[in-house]
Amino acid sequence: MAEGDTILRAKHRLADALVGQSIVVSAPNPRGRAAGIERLDGLTLEGIDARGKHLLFDFGDLVLHSHLGMSGGWHVYPPRARWRRPRSAAWAVLAGERAEAVQFGGPTLRVLSAGRVAIDPQLARLGPDILADDLDLDAVVAKFRATDQSRTLGDALLDQHLTAGIGNIFKSEACFAAGIDPWHRLSEVSDDDLRAVLDAAREQMLAAVKFGDRHRFRIYKHRGPCARCRGTVHHRGQGDANRTTWWCERCQA
């Protein structure tokens, strides 16, 4: 599952490879052709913006919007390199002078006019990006206070309308780092504790952006006793989507 840290890493990699160049755009898989991405062929890529788990490729008057969901991925290859997946599975190929970027799968790939981005329902409802340089934590806390306070903390952390970018891994990691029970209802979590969890999510995710695959998770999918207190680590599905949450019964009591 691509969370905000994976998307921010992808953004940096894609921007290094392609921004400022005229891009040859093709869609080997019918899904990309259905999205009309060939309209972007020959345009200059002016920048790439990450919002939570969404990527927006700025082609001037047109924007390519991609969301990878559970299954999608962006690969970057040198010219004429062998791809790790078949060409027919590629939804979008963006070829620049030194590299080509390929999107395989994912729930969202579409072209928007630049003017629509600000009013598009899917994008406009996103909460503040947890990894934004200018993140206003108080504004995020206010959003958590404005939602139903009977929701559990772990469930609310995944709600991209409250804050964008936190996924299932960092939901568990953030609550563990802050020492807060993810099963508390929001009504039982103080503003200070909310701030601590959000701060921890941001800190852990920025570390993952920096270290990539070398970043080690401390509670997510942890087997055996808690590495911090030797207490029991539990996991159980949480929220309407039943996404598994991992927590330590002692550290997070």
Contact flag: residue 253 with Zn ion (CB under 5 A): no
Contact flag: residue 228 with Zn ion (CB under 5 A): yes
CB of 182 to Zn ion, least distance (A): 13
Among 94, 111, 158, 251, binds Zn ion (CB under 5 A): 251
Site for Zn ion in 186-215 (CB under 5 A): none
Query: Distances in Å between the alpha carbon of 202 and those of 54, 129, 146, 164, 195?
Result: 17, 10, 21, 11, 11
Among 179, 231, 235, 244, binds Zn ion (CB under 5 A): 231
Contact flag: residue 177 with Zn ion (CB under 5 A): no
Contact flag: residue 248 with Zn ion (CB under 5 A): yes
CB of 60 to Zn ion, least distance (A): 51
Q: Which stretch binds Zn ion (CB under 5 A): 52-60, 127-135, 207-215, 218-226?
A: 218-226
CB of 170 to Zn ion, least distance (A): 18
Element (DSSP H or E) covering residue 12: helix 4-18
Element (DSSP H or E) covering residue 47: strand 47-51
End-to-end CA separation in angstroms for the chain:
28
Angle between helices 168-178 and 191-211 (to 10 degrees): 120
Reduce the secondary structure of 100-138 to three states and give it as a string: EEEEECCCEEEEEEHHHCCCCHHHHCCCCECCCCCCCHH
SS3 state of residue 63:
strand
Contact flag: residue 229 with Zn ion (CB under 5 A): yes
Q: Which stretch binds Zn ion (CB under 5 A): 115-123, 125-133, 151-159, 244-252?
A: 244-252
In the complex, the residues that contact Zn ion under the rule CB under 5 A are 226, 228-229, 231, 248, 250-251
